[in-house]
Chain A
Amino acid sequence: MARRPARAVLLVPLLLLALIAGGCGERAGSGAPVTLVFKHAKILGPADPLPGLLRRFEARHPGVRVQSEALTWSSDEQHQFYVINLEGGSPPFDVMMLDVIWVPEFARAGWILDLTPFVPAAERDAHFPTAIEPAVQSGRLWALPWFMNVGLLYYRRDLLAKYGFTPPETYEALAAQVRRIRAGEGDPRLDGYLWQGKQYEGGMVNVLEALWANGARLLDEVGRPFPDRERARESLAFLRGLIESGVSPAWVTAADEELTRRPFGDGRAIFLRNWPYALDLFELPDSRVRGKVGVAPLPRLRHGPVGAASTGGAHLAVSARTRHQALAVDLARFLTSKAAQRAMTEGAALRPSRPSLYQDAALVARDPSLPALLGLMEKGHPRPITPYYLMLSTTLQPEFSAVLVGRKSPDRAIRDGTAQVEHLLRAITP
């Protein structure tokens, strides 16, 4: 007999337990203290501003205590935690931090509160449209942006200057610069362009960016996959070509953000696609590339625009089952307010979702890259905004990965991917 049942078997009773255990919590009687539970990922960075912010919120609401509970670090596990608890009825939390791609899914499932009546238009408009759009489903607002992410092209300022180059606007130019610089440097350990090609959500992001860079989309308005087949084929062929031509090392097919950030930070690459967090690490006092790194918009392919980068980030949503609706909404609004986002930007080195903070003199003095990021955040693309985004991504990842490692032609991957996505959609349309 096995010592413990298989993982899948174990998780189902958990769902059931959640069903049974649902509905135990404290009642907020008159004058009794109220506890709000806030679930969020661990805030990394130099100084965690969250405890201070929560104390400030409590000071404004006497008799209210906010209990902040950190989730596990991996995004997959966070998603699993939410699904198990929300599916089971009364979740043991009121406010939750969500990855932006889950918002439509959770809204569709009826797990989170419609915030439209609580959030004035002015407050909504103070955020980037690219941050608000993914939180809107069927014309209602389901979550508030907490912080924001966008894909960037990092480049070695010193190396480009040495050969008289400016940051490339097209991928063709990028490849030409890589060849020229590597020939000139004669260093076999110097890689050209690093990006994330592992079979995971980040790999999906990189493929989407290649599609957008060529003016292709993953879904059309009615949700059919690969509307611009020829352009999508070119994008996939281009990514594979980066590896075949040696512009990118073959190992990007197993690389995530950190595995690419470190070699670049060790001075072993010319270009890197990554999120803004890497910049802070490159500028640390003991960094080998300190003062040598520039950021630019992602280049384009033949049919697309420059800077068609994926946005990402975190939103705050309120559980539909909370017993303290007004208070929970207040907490979400407070944490996404201008003052709170300023504190988060200062303390945790996260990028705000409010354009006004990118020109805030005090913040810019601390982080000179903010103004440059402003335009990129505005131009960024959200990943497809649909309740079945995760299904789509999980289904297509092996197909795209097969193209990157040369197992499948772009054509065949698009054909197989389309067939699988259509099969999936048939299963979820009643």
Chain B
Amino acid sequence: MTDRRLAWILLAPALAVLGGLTVYPALWVLWLSLQYRVPVFSISRWAGLEHYAFLAVDTRFWNAAWVTGVFTVCSVALECALGLALALGLRGQYRGRRVALALLLLAWALPSVVTAKMFEWLYHPAGGLVNFLVGGRTINWLGDPDLALPALIAADVWRATPFVTLLCFARLLTIPADLYEAAQVDGAAGLQAFARITWPLVRPILLVALLFRTLDALRAFDIMFVLTGGGPAGATETLTVYAYRALFQTMQMGFGSAIGVVVFAFVMVVAVAYLWVINRQDQTA
């Protein structure tokens, strides 16, 4: 019992910091989202659930939710698949491995705003590198509502795949070589060895990568804000971009907070779901 109390006392500072940094702001935004708050027009009155009622029928909101979902699912799936493939490829390479890793790290380390600016020029229809590579056509990557979101997903994949690669690669390095040798003796090679040895050992770390990337993608902001501003025709407006516009451009603090609360709820649901899966795996493993 006293041990227990001591544990709580020792945990208290960390809990206080966590509470102050996450729980308190979340509650504050929740509180704001129940009001009409437009500072410029000195408006501050109770709204109850009216913002949420409006969101339910707001086509711009549903479009943003759809865009957020598509962006998250596509970019994360591609990043994890490519990241694992690259890690496997790197494992077999001894020469140039360091250089490759350094280059990968560079892509991951660049601030996303810088990456976005860089892609703005790469995608430029007249003289951008991307169009040059596809044979000198003038494809309107960022100005066509059907192509803009795939173009953003590609940019995000370029930026974030290295993160998955590094995590998987680190895990692969710790798999003892004699496991594979034993497998070869038993007549299991290639795909079978991958399915029986590599995959089960990499899977937990891939799940962690998946979790981090999903949460990041759900809150992605810089790439669409810089490259397309949410356009054309709102085709790349994610929930975070919509929330930003409501909060800081139309200054509707209450309404913007309501969008923020929805994003927060999404993130929480996804995070809890992942953690549940990971925990279950730990118990069965």
Contact of B248 among A2, A80, A109, A268 (CB under 8 A): A80
Tell me the minimal C-beta distance from A211 to chain B in angstroms: 19
* Contact across chains for B260 and A266 when beta carbons are under 8 A apart: no
Contact of A8 among B120, B215, B240 (CB under 8 A): B240
> Given A198-B228, A397-B231, A427-B36, are A8 and B144 also a contact pair (CB < 8 Å)?
no
Residue of B nearest to A84 (CB): B248
Within A180-204, the residues touching B (CB, 8 Å) are: 189, 191, 197-200, 203
* Contact across chains for A198 and B247 when beta carbons are under 8 A apart: no
Within A26-43, the residues touching B (CB, 8 Å) are: none
Q: Give Cα distance in the complex from A39 to B231, angstroms.
A: 31
Residue of B nearest to A255 (CB): B143
* Contact across chains for A398 and B230 when beta carbons are under 8 A apart: yes
* Contact across chains for A401 and B252 when beta carbons are under 8 A apart: no
Q: Count residues of chain A with CB under 8 A from any CB of chain B.
A: 60
Within B37-52, the residues touching A (CB, 8 Å) are: 38-43, 45
Residues of chain A within 8 A (CB-CB) of B29 are 8-9, 12
Tell me the minimal C-beta distance from A397 to chain B in angstroms: 7
Q: Give Cα distance in the complex from A122 to B233, angstroms.
A: 46
Residue of B nearest to A188 (CB): B138
Q: Give Cα distance in the complex from A218 to B278, angstroms.
A: 55
Residues of chain A within 8 A (CB-CB) of B125 are 249-251, 254
Residue of A nearest to B18 (CB): A1
Contact of A254 among B38, B142, B252 (CB under 8 A): B142
Contact of A108 among B41, B145, B250 (CB under 8 A): B41
Within B90-119, the residues touching A (CB, 8 Å) are: none
> Given A6-B260, A9-B25, are A394 and B127 also a contact pair (CB < 8 Å)?
no
Contact of A16 among B28, B40, B143, B249 (CB under 8 A): B28
Tell me the minimal C-beta distance from B76 to chain A in angstroms: 15
Residues of chain B within 8 A (CB-CB) of A398 are 60, 230-231, 233-234, 237
Tell me the minimal C-beta distance from A205 to chain B in angstroms: 14
Q: Give Cα distance in the complex from A407 to B63, angstroms.
A: 14
Q: Give Cα distance in the complex from A424 to B251, angstroms.
A: 11
Residues of chain A within 8 A (CB-CB) of B126 are 189, 191, 249, 251, 263, 268
Q: Give Cα distance in the complex from A131 to B195, angstroms.
A: 71
Q: Give Cα distance in the complex from A87 to B140, angstroms.
A: 41
* Contact across chains for A6 and B263 when beta carbons are under 8 A apart: yes
Q: Is A295 an interface residue (CB 8 A)?
A: no
* Contact across chains for B228 and A387 when beta carbons are under 8 A apart: no
* Contact across chains for B41 and A428 when beta carbons are under 8 A apart: yes
Residues of chain A within 8 A (CB-CB) of B243 are 6-8
Q: Give Cα distance in the complex from A83 to B250, angstroms.
A: 11
Residues of chain A within 8 A (CB-CB) of B25 are 5, 9-10, 12-13
Interface string of A242-255 (1 = CB under 8 A from B): 00000001111111
* Contact across chains for A253 and B240 when beta carbons are under 8 A apart: no
Q: Is A391 an interface residue (CB 8 A)?
A: yes
Within B239-257, the residues touching A (CB, 8 Å) are: 240, 243-245, 247-252, 255-257
> Given A1-B22, A427-B38, are A402 and B234 also a contact pair (CB < 8 Å)?
yes
**Residues of B that sit less than 8 Å from A by CB:** 21-22, 24-26, 28-29, 32, 36, 38-43, 45, 60, 120, 124-127, 138, 140-145, 148, 212, 215, 219, 221, 225, 228-234, 237, 240, 243-245, 247-252, 255-257, 259-260, 263-264, 267, 271
26 contacts between A and B (CB under 8 A): A1-B271, A2-B267, A5-B21, A5-B26, A6-B263, A6-B267, A8-B29, A8-B244, A9-B260, A12-B32, A16-B28, A249-B140, A251-B143, A253-B143, A253-B232, A254-B140, A254-B231, A254-B232, A259-B120, A263-B127, A393-B249, A398-B60, A398-B237, A404-B232, A405-B143, A428-B38
